[in-house]
Amino acid sequence: MNNYPINLEKDYVRFFVNTVKKSLQFAIVDRKLVFKNNLVIDKQKFTKSFLLLDSWSAKSLESELLKMDGKTLSKLDYTIIDKAINRKYFKNEKASDLIKSKIIKHIINVINKTDEVAEEIPAIQDVITSEELRDIIENNVDLSKKLSDDYRTKLKNLFEESITKGDSFNTIVNKLQAVIGFAESKAQIWAQDQHAKFFGEMNRVRQVQVGFTGFIWITMKDSRVRPAHQAFSDKYFDWKDGTGIEQMRFPGRDYRCRCYAKSSFGQTKEQEEKARIKTSAIKKAQEELLIKQEIEFDTFLSDLVNNAIIETPKSKKKK
C-alpha cells in the first residue's frame, strides 16, 4: 500500500471544501445579498474521514511488520505479543496470526524463564481515545465554521462597498465569486494540513507504542517535495529528537507535509554519526539561506525605493 494516503486526503479535502463552499452560495434579491444555505456540519463524515486515516496508519504498520523476520520482531515491546495473540491490535486477523507465530518462535523461551514478563503486560489501549478523536473533529469543525463566518463577512462588506460605488450587477457578481475562490483555496490548504498532521501523529504514536526507537524518513518522491524534506529522504532519525528542527521534527509536522515515517529499530554508531552531521549541515544551510533571503529582500526594497521612476501620462513619449 502507498505510504501516504493521497486518495483519502483528496476525499477529505473535497468534503471540507464543499462544506464551506455551500455555506457561501448567494443570491442578490432587491439589492440585498442573501445566502442560500446555512453552514451544515456533517460530524459523521468528519469522524469517518479520520477513522479511515487511523485505519490506514494501522494497516501500514501491519504491512511493515509482516516483512520483518522473527528476530527483528522480538525487539518489539512485549505488549505487542499480547495484542497480536488476542487480535486486538491488528486490523487483519491473518496478519495477527503470522506475526504472532514469528514472535512466539523467537521469544517463547524468554517468556517461560521470566514469569514477571507475562504478569507485567499492560492493559491494551487504543492508539487514539474517543475523547482525543472528538477533540480533533471539533477542531476541524471549528475551522470550517471560522472559514464560513470570515468569508461571509467579507462577501457582505464587499457587496455593500460595490453597491455604494455603483458597480454593475455583473461586476458585483464577479467580485463576489473571486472571494469565494479564495475561500475554496484556503479551505483546501487547511484540510490538507490537518489531514497530514493527524496521519503523521498517528504513525508516531503507533510506532512508539509497539517499541520502535526511530524511523526512516520517506518522501513522496515527486516534484512537490520540498528541498529540506528531500534532504531527509531515506535517512534514519530517532523518535525522541527527530530531525532536531522544530517545525519539521517528524514527518507530517511541517505545513502540508506528505512525508511518511517508516518504522525502524535504529542504526549503527557510524550511521548515527553520519545522520547527525548531515542534519546539522542541513540546519546550518537553512539558517544561512534564511539570512541570505532577508538580506536580498532588504536590498531589493532599498533599490526599489531609491531607483523608483513614477511615470505619469504626461511624461510618456508618444511613439
In this predicted structure, the answer to whether residue 65 has a pLDDT above a threshold of 90 is no
Question: 201-236 as b/e, with b when 16 or more CB fall inside 10 Å?
Answer: bbbbebbbbbebbbbbbbbbeeeebeebbebbeebb
Annotate 161-183 with DSSP letters as a single string: HHHHHT--HHHHHHHHHHHHHHH
In this predicted structure, the answer to whether residue 33 has a pLDDT above a threshold of 70 is yes
| Residue 315 pLDDT level (bands cut at 50, 70, 90) | very low
Instruction: Show Cβ contacts of residue 252 under 8 Å, excluding neighbours closer than 6 positions.
Output: 196, 197, 198, 199, 200, 201, 203, 204, 259, 260, 261
Which grid cell sits at 191? 484540510
Mean pLDDT is highest, among 48-62, 102-116, 117-131, for: 48-62
User: Domain spans of the chain?
Assistant: 6-101+126-210, 214-306
| pTM given for the model | 0.70
| Residue 94 pLDDT level (bands cut at 50, 70, 90) | low
Mean pLDDT lowest for which of 32-41, 97-106, 183-192?
A: 97-106
Mean per-residue pLDDT for 83-89?
49
In this predicted structure, the answer to whether residue 222 has a pLDDT above a threshold of 90 is no
In this predicted structure, the answer to whether residue 113 has a pLDDT above a threshold of 80 is no
If one compares 187 and 100, the residue with the highest pLDDT of the two is 187
Mean per-residue pLDDT for 305-316?
44
CB atoms within 10 A of CB 54: 19
Reported as a single tens digit per residue, the pLDDT across 71-85 is 676 677 655 555 544
Torsion on CA atoms 289, 292, 297, 300, rounded to nearest 10: -140
